[in-house]
């Protein structure tokens, strides 16, 4: 069985994630009380369900101890278990709630009603310990179609003890919150300043040829790859199942895209769980 636990901040896109998983053939359960998690997965497995997704969040009243116990128990059952956590900036969440006019699930849990910002920060604090155990996606500024596309890539990654994600982004649009390691490659030659190359992306041959002709680009790729190779065993030793490496240039269209693609080729030789994401390009691709 492939089991995906979906968690994250309210308003960060969990409903979109579950709908996408359902469209991909998953049996989805939303807001399940934590104590029933093992029972329901055991039952669904017994009736032949091969793909299951369960949403666990602040509404589930799950403690970190219970969460860890659930993960350990499920992992012992020969299940392809993946944890997907969605997050977003507080400003983005406030805007989404103001547009939908819905009430935050934590806003009325205290003795007195809390402001929306206080409820968001309280939930962020409650879910913080789960982040290191999860594949994190920052949905700030992300179109719903881009999120759906990233989820499809996440579930299609081959099973591995650690899913390694490389994500390109543009610094001018902000640093992704879902980053474990960040490399700034704005020091590399920029094809943007060549008007003939400007319309292309790091996936196109003219940009690939441009980047390859500069020795410092290959040196940067090798240095980043060697750093990750050196420290990846330490992350594994800490029982990490997900690691996101973000590569940033100015706009997220040329240099960072090229470097992410090169890193993907290097690590896919010896590593099954590879996910490549291009924050700028994927947003353009899925907006049409």
Tokens for 254, please give them. Answer: 């040329």
Q: Which residues face 84 on adjacent strands? A: 6, 135
Neighbour tally for 287: CB within 10 Å: 9
CA dihedral 248, 149, 177, 19 (to 10 degrees): 180
The confidence score (pLDDT) of residue 109 equals: 62
Predicted pLDDT at 59: 67
Give the model's pLDDT for residue 69: 77
pTM score, whole prediction: 0.80
Tens digit of each residue's pLDDT (9 = 90 or more) over 250-277? 999 999 999 999 999 999 998 888 999 9
Note the pLDDT of residue 115: 85
Supply the pLDDT for residue 60: 64
Residue with tokens 């291009």: 278
For residue 116, give the 3-state DSSP assignment. helix
CA distance 11 to 104: 8
* DSSP codes, 158-169: PP-SSEEEEEEE
Residue 42: CA count within 13 A, CB half-sphere: 10
Q: Output the CA–CA distances (angstroms, integers) from residue 179 to 174, 187, 206, 230, 248, in the order listed.
A: 12, 20, 29, 18, 11
What is the C-alpha to C-alpha distance for residues 288 and 114, in angstroms, rounded to an integer? 39
Please identify which residue in the block is written with the tokens 């410092």: 216
Of 11, 13, 10, 283, which Cα lies nearest the Cα of 173? 283
Q: What DSSP line would sit under 38-95, residue for residue? A: HHHHHHHHHTT--EEEEE-SGGGT--HHHHHHHHHHHHTTT-EEEEEEEE--HHHHHH
194 φ, ψ (degrees, to nearest 5)? -100, 110
* CA pair distance 173, 121, nearest whole angstrom: 23
Residue 62: the pLDDT is 66
**Can you say how many angstroms the Cα of residue 45 is from the centroid of all Cα atoms in its chain?**
26
Residues of the chain with pLDDT below 50 are 111-112
Domains and CATH numbers, the chain: 2-156 (3.40.50.300), 164-285 (no CATH)
- Residues 152, 55: Cα–Cα separation, whole Å: 17
pLDDT on residue 39 = 86
Instruction: Name residues whose C-beta falls within 8 Å of residue 227's C-beta, 6 or more positions apart in sequence.
Output: none
Burial 121-152 (b: 16+ CB within 10 A, else e): ebbbebbeebbebbbbbbbbebeebbbbbbbe
């Amino acid at each position: 069985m492939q089991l995906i636990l979906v968690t994250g901040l309210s308003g960060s896109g969990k409903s979109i994630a579950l709908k996408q998983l359902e469209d991909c053939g998953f049996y989805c359960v939303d807001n399940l009380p934590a104590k029933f998690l093992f029972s329901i997965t055991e039952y669904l497995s017994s009736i032949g369900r091969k793909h299951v997704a369960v949403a666990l969040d602040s509404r589930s009243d799950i403690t970190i101890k219970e969460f860890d116990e659930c993960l350990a128990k499920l992992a012992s059952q020969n299940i392809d278990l993946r944890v997907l956590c969605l997050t977003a900036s507080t400003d983005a969440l406030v805007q989404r709630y103001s547009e939908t006019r819905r009430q935050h699930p934590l806003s009325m849990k205290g003795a007195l009603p809390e402001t929306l910002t206080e409820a968001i920060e309280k939930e962020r604090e409650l879910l913080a310990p789960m982040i290191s155990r999860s594949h994190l996606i920052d949905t700030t500024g992300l179109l719903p179609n881009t999120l759906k596309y990233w989820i499809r890539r996440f579930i299609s990654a081959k099973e591995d003890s650690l899913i390694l994600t490389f994500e390109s982004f543009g610094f001018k649009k902000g640093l992704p919150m879902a980053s474990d390691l960040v490399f700034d490659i704005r020091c590399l030659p920029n094809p943007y300043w060549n008007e003939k190359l400007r319309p292309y992306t790091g996936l196109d041959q003219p940009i690939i040829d441009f980047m390859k002709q500069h020795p410092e680009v290959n040196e940067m790729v090798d240095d980043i790859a060697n750093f990750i190779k050196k420290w990846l065993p330490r992350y594994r030793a800490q029982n990490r199942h997900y690691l996101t490496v973000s590569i940033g240039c100015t706009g997220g269209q040329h240099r960072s895209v090229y470097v992410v693609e090169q890193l993907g080729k290097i690590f896919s030789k010896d590593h099954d769980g590879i996910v490549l994401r291009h924050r700028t390009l994927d947003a353009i691709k899925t907006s049409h």
